Each structure stands twice: as C-alpha cells, then as structure tokens.
C-alpha cells in the first residue's frame, strides 16, 4: 500500500481538531504526505524513517532534532496495515506531553487508512464490474475467454443459471440532471437493487438510464415468479421516486447466455413502450410471436401494410379498438363483449363491418392471424 496525500490529509485535518498539536503522516519512504503544517509536505522526515526501519516508536527530543533532516521534537510511530509497515505517523511537541496521545493516534490512523483501502477496493471492483458488464452487453465484443477470466476475478460464477432484468429508469418531473446528480442516482439505484435482492449475480448501470440485474433462477423457473420479482423491483423504485420499465429475459447460463438474456430483456422493454398502454413489467415470453414481428425492419412492415391496405378504407377508432380487444381475448365473443361493455349483437355487427371493409373475417382463424399481423405492424414503430 502507498499512502498518498489524497488519502492522508483528510485524516490529519480531523486529528488536529481533536488534539492541540501538529500531526504528520509519512509514506514508506519517510516523505511527509500530510501535515497540519502545509509547508512541511513532501519533506523527508528522518525521525519517521527511523521509526519505519526500526518498526517501533522513535522519540525525538529538541536536542536530537537539530541533527535530523526535516525533524522537529515529537514522537513518531510506524503505521502497520495487515502486519506490514507502510509509513509513520508523528506528533510534533514536547515528547513527555504528547506521548500519551501517540498510540491512540496510531490506532486511529491505521483504522481510517484501512477504511480508505476498503473504499478504494470497492470502488475499483465496481469500476471493473461496470467495464465487464459493458463488454457483456456489447454484441461486437467477441473475446469470450477474457470475459470469463474477468468474471472469475469478480467472483461471478458464469455456470449459474440467471435471468437478466433490464431496468429503464424514467426520472419523472426532472429535467436536465447534471453529472453529479446522475451519478448519485445511479449509486442509489444500484444500492436499492442489491438490497432488494442480495443474491443477485451482478448489478450495474449501462448508461442512458439503463441498469441490468442478474438474478439466479432454476433452469425451469416459471415466468410468473420472475414477473413477480420484476413488479417488486418496479414498486421499490417507485417508492424512491423513480418510475421505470422492467424487461425480463429468459433463464440462461454462460457469457453467451447472459448476453442473450440481456437482449431479450431489452426487446421486452421496447415492446412495452410500443404496444402496452399501462403495463410496465414484462417477461419476453409474454410477447409470443410479436417478438419475431418486432425484428422485421420497420420499413418492411410499413411496405407490407401499404401494399395490403392499398384502396382499402381505414378502420375507424371504434372498429380498431373492437378488433384489438377481440384478438387479445382469443376470438372469444362473450369475453370481448363483456370487456367492452357492449351487447353481443353490437360486437357481431362490428366484426361484420370489419369483414365488409377489409375482406377478412376476424372470427375465422386464418383471417384472424392476418388481422393480428396487420395490427402488430400498425402498432409497432
């Protein structure tokens, strides 16, 4: 470990508020990297060097300091982290008056430095995880062995079956967030997700208000139980002021599997935003054939619609809504009329009108397939 000014100066600033003496922290080479006396920073402290070499306290009296480089009277003790001497801490003053403080200061400084190391390690690991996730979701990144190697370092077991939950956060009512606010929100959301499901394999932001959340499941996990967790995530974020969409991919294992699950989760969010009015959480399997239709290029879908509907009249809003509900209810007359709060005969009249205008009978299975395809092509952007 190398003690830096960035790490040590805040500790010194706190120490000198508690005791009425100057405190110095030196690195392993005896260089003062933090001090209450800023003029002494980056000077060599001979007393600290001796404390580091001897691995014990070095008391410097006024008479000694005259012959020692960069040294005032005081007491210097080695800083030990995990049994290794990494520097020294010293208090400037009459040794007999400050001796009682020095070992308390030593313990405090060691403890604070260990906390700093832990924070740095966590920050580094989070950065490494973020880079790993960015490469995982990038279909152009093909170095799978490297991803597997980094996963091992990050303690991510890629042999586990997981579903990737993709979360798109909408900052409702908030415009033009600055970088610091975005960072603060990202950290808060990641902490919230980890608290919500601590068994997750990985959690990370992937930019553009998107987060991914890898949750372990059985290979044959039911879609309903996964959707329930998705609803819980949405509710937890909502309680903290974050509106969101949650898209859920199928259960897979391995790097390629995780990437596939991510793509499925992303597609599920795209379909939510295009097709659903009020729904905010969906599993990719809920969309059935629509997920295949959505992969058809938009220009191809529109070209098909234009060719088929050429010289055919448009359906009015009432007929379009009737067709949508009828198709969603699997061509069931009773359920559709109940859902729309209309008489059965009214529904039959509208279905006949659709047949008259378009030459396709919604009650006929083959015609209904075509109508469903037309409706999807019209709905998708």
Could you tell me if 144 and 282 lie in one domain?
A: yes
Could you tell me if 330 and 200 lie in one domain?
A: no
Could you tell me if 342 and 288 lie in one domain?
A: no
What is the model's pLDDT at position 53?
93
Q: How far apart are CA 254 and CA 244, in angstroms?
A: 27
| Average pLDDT, consecutive stretches of 10 residues, N- to C-terminus, the chain (381 residues) | 89 88 94 93 92 92 79 92 93 89 89 84 82 94 94 93 94 61 84 88 89 92 93 92 94 96 95 84 92 88 82 87 91 94 95 92 92 85 70
User: Which CATH number characterizes residue 203's domain?
Assistant: 3.30.70.270
Residue 330 lies in a domain: yes
- Among the candidates 242, 268, 292, a domain finishes at 292
Could you tell me if 143 and 286 lie in one domain?
A: yes
Q: How many domains does the chain have?
A: 3
- Among the candidates 65, 90, 119, a domain finishes at 119
Instruction: Sort 354 into a burial class: Cβ within 10 Å, 0-12 / 13-18 / 19+.
Output: buried
What is the model's pLDDT at position 62?
82
Could you tell me if 16 and 96 lie in one domain?
A: yes
Residue 173 lies in a domain: yes
Could you tell me if 231 and 165 lie in one domain?
A: yes
Could you tell me if 339 and 374 lie in one domain?
A: yes
What is the model's pLDDT at position 274?
86
Could you tell me if 286 and 165 lie in one domain?
A: yes
What is the model's pLDDT at position 354?
93
- Please write the tens of the pLDDT for every residue from 121-143: 777 888 899 899 999 999 999 99
What is the model's pLDDT at position 100?
81
Cα angle vertex 301, ends 299, 306, to 5°? 90
Could you tell me if 60 and 178 lie in one domain?
A: no
Could you tell me if 263 and 335 lie in one domain?
A: no
SS (H, E, C) the chain: CCCCHHHHHHHHHHHHHHCCCEEEEECCCCEEEEECCHHHCCCECHHHHHHHHHCCCEEECHHHHCCCCCCCCEEEEEEEECCEEEEEEEEECCHHHHHHHHHHHHHHHHHHHHHHHHHHHHHHHHHHHHHHHHHHHCCCCCCHHHHHHHHHHCCCCCCCCEEEEEEEEECCCCCCCCHHHHHHHHHHHHHHHHHHCCCCCEEEEEECCEEEEEEECCCCCCHHHHHHHHHHHHHHHHHCCCEEEEEEEEEECHHHHHHHHHHHHHHHHHHHHHHCCCCCEEEHHHHCCHHHHCCCCHHHHHHHHHHHHCCCCCCCHHHHHHHHHHHHCCCCHHHHHHHHCCCHHHHHHHHHHHHHHHCCCCCCHHHHHHHHHHHHHHHCC
Residue 133 lies in a domain: no
Could you tell me if 286 and 301 lie in one domain?
A: no
Q: What is the pTM of this model?
A: 0.67
Residue 126 lies in a domain: no
Q: Which domain holds residue 320?
A: 297-379
Could you tell me if 195 and 149 lie in one domain?
A: yes
User: Which CATH number characterizes residue 347's domain?
Assistant: 1.10.10.2840
- Among the candidates 292, 315, 338, a domain finishes at 292
């Amino acid at each position: 470990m190398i003690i830096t000014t960035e790490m040590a100066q805040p500790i010194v600033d706190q120490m000198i508020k508690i005791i009425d003496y100057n405190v110095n922290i030196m690195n392993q080479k005896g260089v003062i990297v933090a001090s209450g006396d800023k003029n002494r920073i980056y000077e060599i402290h001979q007393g600290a060097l001796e404390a580091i070499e001897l691995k014990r306290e070095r008391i410097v009296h006024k008479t000694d300091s005259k012959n020692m480089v960069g040294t005032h009277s005081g007491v210097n003790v080695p800083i030990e982290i995990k049994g290794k001497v990494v520097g020294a801490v010293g208090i400037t003053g009459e040794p007999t008056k400050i001796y009682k403080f020095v070992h308390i200061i030593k313990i405090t400084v060691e403890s604070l430095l260990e906390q700093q190391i832990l924070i740095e390690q966590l920050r580094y690991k989070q950065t490494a995880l973020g880079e790993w996730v960015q490469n995982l979701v990038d279909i152009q990144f093909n170095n799978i062995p490297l991803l597997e190697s980094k996963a091992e370092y990050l303690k991510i077991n890629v042999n586990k079956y997981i579903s990737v939950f993709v979360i798109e956060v909408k900052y409702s009512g908030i415009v033009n967030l600055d970088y610091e606010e975005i960072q603060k929100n990202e950290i808060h959301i990641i902490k919230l997700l980890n608290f919500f499901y601590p068994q997750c394999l990985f959690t990370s932001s992937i930019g553009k208000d998107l987060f991914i959340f890898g949750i372990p499941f059985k290979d044959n996990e039911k879609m309903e139980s996964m959707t329930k967790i998705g609803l819980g995530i949405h509710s937890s974020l909502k309680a903290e002021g974050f509106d969101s969409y949650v898209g859920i991919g199928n259960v897979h294992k391995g790097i390629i599997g995780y990437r596939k699950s991510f793509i499925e989760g992303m597609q599920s969010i795209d379909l939510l935003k295009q097709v659903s009015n009020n729904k905010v959480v969906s599993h990719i399997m809920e969309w059935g054939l629509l997920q295949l239709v959505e992969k058809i290029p938009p220009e191809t879908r529109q070209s098909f619609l234009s060719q088929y509907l050429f010289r055919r009249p448009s359906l009015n809003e009432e007929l379009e809504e009737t067709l949508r509900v009828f198709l969603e209810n699997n061509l069931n007359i009773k359920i559709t009329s109940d859902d729309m709060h209309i008489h059965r005969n009214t529904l039959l009249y509208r279905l006949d009108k659709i047949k008259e205008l378009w030459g396709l009978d919604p009650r006929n299975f083959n015609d209904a397939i075509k109508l469903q395809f037309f409706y999807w092509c019209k709905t998708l952007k």
